[in-house]
Structure 1
Amino acid sequence: MKTKVAIVDDHELMAKALSGLVQKFERYDVIFEVCSGEELIKRIELGMIPEIVLLDINMPIMDGYQVAQWLTSHFPEIKILALSMNDKEESIVKMLRNGAKGYLLKGCKPQELCQALDSIVQKGIYYTEYITIQLIKNLSPEKGGNPTKLLGINERELNFVRLSCSDFTYVEIADKMCVSPRTVDGYRESVFQKMDVKSRVGMVLLAIKLGIVDLP
């Protein structure tokens, strides 16, 4: 049986193009495409429930963050794959915290979109190049021990990680921690090295997986 997909994008042409592309993937069936979060909610409330939602972020009235929050609260079984032109780390982190199971840029190749869909179906989440499954397995809490101690993360760095799992900018994080932006840069470099990641998104994904932070 094919996996049911819904597409939400306020650009009708983009929505239809995505629909046509996904329909070419043999394991997926697009049950509808809509141009707003409100229309998505109406369809779902009528019983048209997808298994995966391809969700744009920048939409009028109800943006992707709000749609993701609604889906996570009312239909947590629906997996969200964010698909956006926005490559800012703060936006990616915010979508992940609001329940997205993956994040792709609209400029990605069709093969990567298919891989993302497959990963969400099979593993429940799509990890990009920011992080590897092997790293997560090696550091998973199931192996025992406190992950922050295993990684050598101190209290100040732990506070930095937790604040980074929000949509605060690094400057705002520095203000929250009552330190200079340069000090925060030092925390970032140290944490990235200890967690073996290369970006804020990678850090957030690993922190969530290891239980260092909890999703709201």
Structure 2
Amino acid sequence: MYKVALVDDHTLLSEAIAGLVRQFENFEVIYIGLNGKELLDYLKADDSVQPDIVLMDVKMPVMGGVETTVCLTKHYPDIKVLALSVEEEEQVVMQMIRAGAKGYLLKDTRKSILEEALNDVLTHGFYYTNTVEKLVKRSKAAKEEDVALKEREIEFIKHACTEMTYKEIAKVMFLSPKTIEGYRESVFQKLGLKNRTGLVIYAIKNNIFVP
């Protein structure tokens, strides 16, 4: 039996999805959590029984799907994440895929599609709908050229992953706040990011910053 964990802050919906998964041949639900932190705490407490697949919501309190997926990809690479969310914006989908998710489904997907996705993730390592496949191809085409980060930009990223303000980062790097603002804009543009949270996730995934 393949083991499945569900992480979603909507309890009733999680129970309903768990009920569907239990109807699938060769699948059992071993864990249901309200957010990513609960899942990671569960794994740290006893990693002898790990799920094969985690059905992961994106927007959750305490610790969301993207951040949790990054941690799972890094520390529990054998666990496959399949996003199951109401969020359908391209940016959100690609954040999950870049974080390490092996597929992305909307919560109103058909039962048969969910079963197919679970089996494909285990058999082939991923499950991409036509929409997600197009997004992935577009993303790869846009990133054919490697992102060239300067040494000082990398230093800025490391500091930005802490709780320091941009003014405090400027003092530590012996630069003016205006220069730090320039680094921020440059890094965000190069990496296609919109906020500091996205920068932290990128830094963790690419081993620039270790939490």
Name the residue aligned to 2:148.
none
Separation (CA, whole Å) in 1 of partners of 2:75 and 2:88: 27
Separation (CA, whole Å) in 2 of partners of 1:20 and 1:158: 35
Please say if 1:18 is aligned against 2:26: no
Deviation at 1:130, TM superposition (A): 3.1
Name the residue aligned to 2:142.
161
Name the residue aligned to 1:33.
32
SS in 2 for 1:96: helix
8 Å CA contact retained: 2:104, 2:132: no
Name the residue aligned to 1:84.
85
Name the residue aligned to 2:5.
6
Separation (CA, whole Å) in 2 of partners of 1:176 and 1:5: 38
Question: Which ranges of 4 or more aligned residues in structure 1 deviate by more than 6 Å?
Answer: 157-160
Normalising to structure 2: TM-score of the pair?
Answer: 0.63
Normalising to structure 1: TM-score of the pair?
Answer: 0.62
Structure 2, unpaired ranges of 5+: 145-184, 191-204, 207-211
Name the residue aligned to 2:68.
67
SS in 2 for 1:81: strand
Separation (CA, whole Å) in 2 of partners of 1:130 and 1:158: 12
Deviation at 1:158, TM superposition (A): 9.3
- Cα distance, 1:110–1:161 mapped onto 2, change above 3 Å: same
Structure 1, unpaired ranges of 5+: 133-156, 164-171, 178-214
SS in 1 for 2:131: coil
Q: Percent identity over the alignment?
A: 40
Name the residue aligned to 1:98.
99
8 Å CA contact retained: 1:11, 1:35: yes
How many residues end up aligned between the 2 structures? Answer: 147
Separation (CA, whole Å) in 2 of partners of 1:83 and 1:6: 12
Query: Once the two structures are superposed, what CA deviation does each residue of 1:154-185 show, in whole Å capped at 9, x if it has no partner?
Result: xxx9997129xxxxxxxx9xx948xxxxxxxx
8 Å CA contact retained: 1:43, 1:49: no
